[in-house]
Structure 1
Amino acid sequence: MSVPVVLVAGLHGPARTAVVDRLLRERPGALAIHHDLCSITAGSLLRVVRDAGGEREQAVVRLAHGCVTCAVRLDLVPELLRLAGHAPLLIVDLWDSVEPRTVAEALDAEAADELRIAQVITALDAELTPVDVCRGEPLAEVGKPGAAGDRRYLAEVLVRQIEYATVLALPEVLPAPLPEADPENVALCRELLGHLAPLTPVVGPDERLPAIGEAGLCTFELAARVDPATAQLPPETATGEVETVIWRRTGPLHPERFFDAADTLAIESVRSRGRFWLANRPDRMLAWDAVAGVVTVEDAGPWLAALPEAAWELVAPVRRTAATLDWSAEHGDRVQHLVFTGAELDRDRIHALLDSCLMTPGESLAGIDDPFAPILDLKEAV
């Protein structure tokens, strides 16, 4: 029988350690493995294996290429397989900026018969999360790169860790005799998480973690929860200090007007994401992803309406279901579905700005430049 593996991710190291410690205490015989990547840009890492009693092994590992992918493939997977015969549960204590999806899919691809992913927990510091989700600094500037040349941003990684997880944990990370976390900050963090990942359970310091089941998680299903074509986007709602606004239309966007509005839209909220289409690219689904003012636009593949009907059978059922929910007689599954989350959002302003970017009846694309071409066409060519 395969050994269950729990991935514990999170930028906040003390919170992550608190969750790992709790799992080790609650599951006798469990082992935790952690790779310290502080020196990964120099081609090495420190591997530590521990149990509830403390450290059992430590080793410096040299890598030909200093990156997270190499660390997972060349050291983490073999070590988990080695330890699988010695523990009823394996816990992977992921380093700060490691995104759990990368590790989950690597384990599924290389060791699915021996290891099963039981949970993906993202541990968060309730005091820091509402602040860090607004921070637009590159990881390299805050000393948390996952490789040489890592261009990701702190807030970008944090929201991906939150949105991919199956459990969100808010442990008590302040040791006595320091004061406890401010209840208002904890409440704000829970509120924010309820908007970013409304279907994911949030576990506080005095609450039980969900039980580890016999069946493993399907990484394809985990990916479908966050991938643009099938993402479980949050509904429109307003709570005490956080709001989520949805803009949903079916008509095409004018490429120039939408490009000109992109920077303004990126700073209208803390977090925004979704899928959209441009009048000059009617066959391509485009993904919008923005956090802390940093926006990314990517080609997410064809709309199903642009494919021959025979090709639909080659598409995953979850993708076909998502297309059916978006279907309109005029445009098929082509849709503008963007979601904005933040404080004190001006719904009317966001809607008015986006509505002004839509093509008007009878409007022609003749003579219009495509400012997205340098971004989208370059990525397609690489």
Structure 2
Amino acid sequence: MKTITDKELSVRRSTSKTPLVIVTGFDRSASARTAHALAVPGTAVVQHDLSLIGEGTIVRTVSTIGADGELDSRTTQNMLDHGCLSCAMREDVLPLLRMLHRRSNVDRIVLALDPALESEPMSAAIATVVVSGVPGQVDGPAGRDVEIEAVIGCVDEGTWLDDATGDVALAEVGRGTADDERTVAQLAVGHVEFADALVVHGRAEDGWAGARLFAVLKRLNPEVPIIMDLAQRPLTPHIMGGLIAAIGPGARRGRITGPHDPLLRGQPPLATDCGVTVVEFESDRPFHPERLHEAIDVLLDGVVAARGRLWLATQPDEALWLESAGGGLRIATGGAWLAAMSDDQVALVDPERLAMASLRWHPLYGDRNSSIVAISHHADPAVIRRELGAALLTDDELADGQSGWDRFSDPFGRAHADPCIDLLDERALLDTPGSDPGREGNR
């Protein structure tokens, strides 16, 4: 059986951290095939079943491959203090990663996430959530001991696009707890957007449907390498090793990006393919809050996903962050504009953001602007731009200045966020100056 190569172990030798591969997807069998195809000697494959999470129970299977190629698989049921996904990460997944790191026979960990868990908040939790009480280890995040080597998304060629463009809640299809407000589309889009590599399984209805799917995938994540999980060509360690080797130097590998980072990843094709196109909207004047509240519905029909920074006339100090997946959309805080920061705060900002802002700095408004990117599969790009443009301040409104804008009614308010939900939400973990994780709204 193939052993871990010197090249594959070089990361761990140089950083003393155990390489971690995260596998995510809706189909448990496809995720399991992908995870176990990475299982060479020295690998620990971890799978969680959270179907009993509502009862406070998590089922965990850890399979290790010894030097002789022998498989040792053990399944346990663990009780949680609180039956929620956040507690499952905090009390089971993160401590387990730290413990596996200490095992001399574990050279790589493959974590196959339950369909209810997302790779982005999991990656954020690995980097930031303190794990305490692990025997023989200093309290700290799991990121002290493991380093994300790759995030692999498993995508069903026959169902993913329908999942990504719907508005069904996870709870309605039995993929989350009763109070889970996330949608199937949110997770489906996240499986692709945050992935460093994709494994496509299943079969599209016809060639056109398959072509449309790949047109969407290459616009959501243009640089991601993709392989097919086919019955006639089963996944093997050699195939999976080649997939990971094909991951480019710009891959995220668990890195969390912020609202002021570039909205477009890589260089997606800008030409329309199978009706799929990238729609860009940008303006250097603020939105009228009530008109924007009405206009954003244009992003919920015929659009796979959208994200953007918003300058709202009534809120001059901080950007708002917009993101949509299928028929669901979220508005949250995006952190302070540079123009609203103190000198001490500006000194902590990423130099790349400062450089980009300097290229379009306005003498009155500084770096304030609005920028939205959407992936359309049915919507008319001209209609999207027209509706969003109509929500901007008119010339007369712009002339009234901030004192006049402050009189506008603002439907974008503040809402309480439960601490357990915060851990599931990568936006609550962004290190953004002036951010306020408690501010959020859903449509």
**Aligned mate of 1:90, from 109, 125, 137:** 109
Note if 1:199 corresponds to 2:199: no
After TM superposition, the score normalised by the length of structure 2 is 0.75
Stretch deviating more after TM superposition (158-167 or 118-127): 158-167
Stretch deviating more after TM superposition (365-374 or 329-338): 365-374
User: Which residue number in structure 1 is paired with residue 146 of structure 2?
Assistant: 115
What is the 5 A alignment of 1:180-329? 182-205=206-229, 208-211=242-245, 222-224=255-257, 227-233=258-264, 236-324=270-358, 327-329=361-363
Q: Distance in 1 between matches of 2:20 and 2:356?
A: 30
Note if 1:19 corresponds to 2:31: no
Note if 1:38 corresponds to 2:51: yes
Stretch deviating more after TM superposition (77-86 or 276-285): 77-86
Taking a change above 3 Å as real, the CA distance of residues 99 and 318 of structure 1, as seen in their structure-2 partners, is farther
Per-residue CA deviations over 1:198-222 (Å, capped at 9, x if unaligned) read 2333333476312399x9x987x72
Q: How far apart are 1:29 and its partner, in Å? A: 3.1
Q: Distance in 1 between matches of 2:303 and 2:357?
A: 27
Q: Distance in 2 between matches of 1:40 and 1:318?
A: 42
What is the 5 A alignment of 1:111-150? 111-145=142-176, 147=177, 149-150=179-180
Q: Distance in 2 between matches of 1:143 and 1:126?
A: 21
Taking a change above 3 Å as real, the CA distance of residues 378 and 163 of structure 1, as seen in their structure-2 partners, is closer
Unaligned runs of 5+ in 2: 1-15, 129-140, 234-238, 417-435
3-state SS of 1:119 partner: strand
**Aligned mate of 1:369, from 409, 415, 426:** 409
Return structure 1 stretches of 4+ with deviation > 6 angstroms.
none
Taking a change above 3 Å as real, the CA distance of residues 173 and 354 of structure 1, as seen in their structure-2 partners, is closer
User: Which residue number in structure 1 is paired with residue 193 of structure 2?
Assistant: 163
One-letter amino acid of the counterpart of residue 11, structure 1: F
Q: How far apart are 1:285 and its partner, in Å? A: 0.3
Per-residue CA deviations over 1:277-299 (Å, capped at 9, x if unaligned) read 11121221011111222111111
The question of whether the paired residues in 1 share the 8 Å contact of 2:289 and 2:313 is answered with: yes
Identical residues among aligned pairs (%): 29
The question of whether the paired residues in 1 share the 8 Å contact of 2:302 and 2:377 is answered with: no
The question of whether the paired residues in 2 share the 8 Å contact of 1:233 and 1:274 is answered with: no
Give the number of equivalent residue pairs. Answer: 368
User: Which residue number in structure 1 is paired with residue 427 of structure 2?
Assistant: none
3-state SS of 2:20 partner: strand
Q: How far apart are 1:232 and its partner, in Å? A: 3.7
Per-residue CA deviations over 1:219-249 (Å, capped at 9, x if unaligned) read 7x7211xx32214425544222311111111
Per-residue CA deviations over 1:35-60 (Å, capped at 9, x if unaligned) read 10000011001111124666610101
Q: How far apart are 1:159 and its partner, in Å? A: 1.2
Q: How far apart are 1:258 and its partner, in Å? A: 1.1
Q: Distance in 2 between matches of 1:66 and 1:8?
A: 23
CA RMSD of aligned residues (A): 2.9
One-letter amino acid of the counterpart of residue 370, structure 1: D
Taking a change above 3 Å as real, the CA distance of residues 173 and 373 of structure 1, as seen in their structure-2 partners, is closer
User: Which residue number in structure 2 is paired with residue 177 of structure 1?
Assistant: none
Q: How far apart are 1:183 and its partner, in Å? A: 4.6
After TM superposition, the score normalised by the length of structure 1 is 0.86
What is the 5 A alignment of 1:329-340? 329-340=363-374
Q: Distance in 1 between matches of 2:261 and 2:80?
A: 36
The question of whether the paired residues in 1 share the 8 Å contact of 2:263 and 2:308 is answered with: no
The question of whether the paired residues in 2 share the 8 Å contact of 1:10 and 1:124 is answered with: yes
3-state SS of 2:366 partner: coil
Per-residue CA deviations over 1:250-302 (Å, capped at 9, x if unaligned) read 11111121112122332252211111111121221011111222111111111
3-state SS of 2:315 partner: coil
Per-residue CA deviations over 1:66-92 (Å, capped at 9, x if unaligned) read 122222222223323333322221100
